[in-house]
């Protein structure tokens, strides 16, 4: 019996960011997901790093599952040429649908929305609501301050040291691919 397709949820910015490496890694991530035969699950935007990841996955022949709330259809330019396209009522429902339709979560550079998505799935993991891998792609050290904040939270006694066990930080897309392959095999 064939194994079901794995789905990778990618949280990332609806903007491109200041460093061209962010776009490069977003493109390589989308391509890698498709080349591995995995499905991309993402926020259905056609702008910023979100759009880059999706276009790259599509160009490499991959399936794409986009989820966008009604109020962001114009702002994030809902990308309707995806394999699957879901419109939700609100942001919370968007995160839930994305998460429920994925086997792993990847965090690329992004802003407040990406942080919100990351902390929600990290909290769910801490509460033992799931065991899905959470991987941060630390492009050009972008997430280094976030990692330091998590260390600070632990050092100040607001979380157990095991919080860091729930996520993996990788420096580049080849390491991301290796981590996902190991976690999903």
Side-chain half-sphere CA neighbours of 134 within 13 A: 21
Q: What is the pLDDT of residues 110-124, one digit of tens each?
A: 999 999 999 999 999
When pLDDT is cut at 50, 70 and 90, the band that residue 76 belongs to is: confident
Where do the domains of the chain lie? 7-179
Considering only the top CATH level, what class is 7-179? alpha beta
Asked if residues 105 and 42 have their Cβ atoms less than 8 Å apart, the reply is no
Instruction: Give 183: exposed, middle or buried? Use CB within 10 Å, 0-12, 13-18, 19+.
Output: middle
User: What distances in angstroms separate CA 94 from CA 15, 101, 155, 168, one per listed residue?
Assistant: 19, 11, 33, 24
Nearest to 27 by CA among 66, 56, 59: 56
pTM of the model: 0.95
Tokens of residue 69, six digits: 């709330």
Instruction: Kindly give the residue spans of alpha helices, DSSP state H, lying in the chain.
Output: 20-35, 48-59, 91-100, 112-126, 144-155, 173-184
Kindly report the backbone phi and psi dihedral angles of residue 165, in degrees, each rounded to the nearest multiple of 5, phi listed first: -70, -15
Q: What is the pLDDT of residues 78-122, one digit of tens each?
A: 888 999 999 999 999 999 999 999 999 999 999 999 999 999 999
């Amino acid at each position: 019996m064939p194994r079901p397709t794995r789905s990778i949820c990618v949280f990332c910015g609806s903007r491109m960011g200041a460093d061209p490496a962010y776009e490069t890694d977003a493109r390589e991530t989308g391509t890698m997901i498709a080349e591995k035969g995995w499905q991309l699950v993402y926020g259905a935007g056609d702008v910023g790093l979100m759009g880059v990841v999706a276009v790259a996955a599509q160009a490499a022949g991959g399936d794409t599952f986009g989820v966008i709330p009604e109020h962001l259809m114009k702002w994030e330019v809902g990308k309707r040429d995806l394999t699957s396209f879901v419109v939700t009522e609100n942001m919370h429902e968007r995160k839930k649908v994305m998460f429920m339709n994925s086997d792993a979560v990847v965090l690329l550079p992004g802003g407040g929305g990406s942080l919100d998505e990351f902390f929600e799935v990290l909290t769910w993991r801490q509460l033992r609501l799931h065991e899905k891998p959470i991987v941060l792609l630390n492009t050009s050290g972008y997430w280094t301050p976030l990692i330091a904040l998590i260390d600070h939270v632990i050092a100040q006694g607001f979380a157990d040291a095991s919080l860091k066990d729930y996520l993996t930080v990788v420096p580049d897309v080849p390491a991301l691919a290796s981590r996902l392959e190991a976690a999903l095999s």
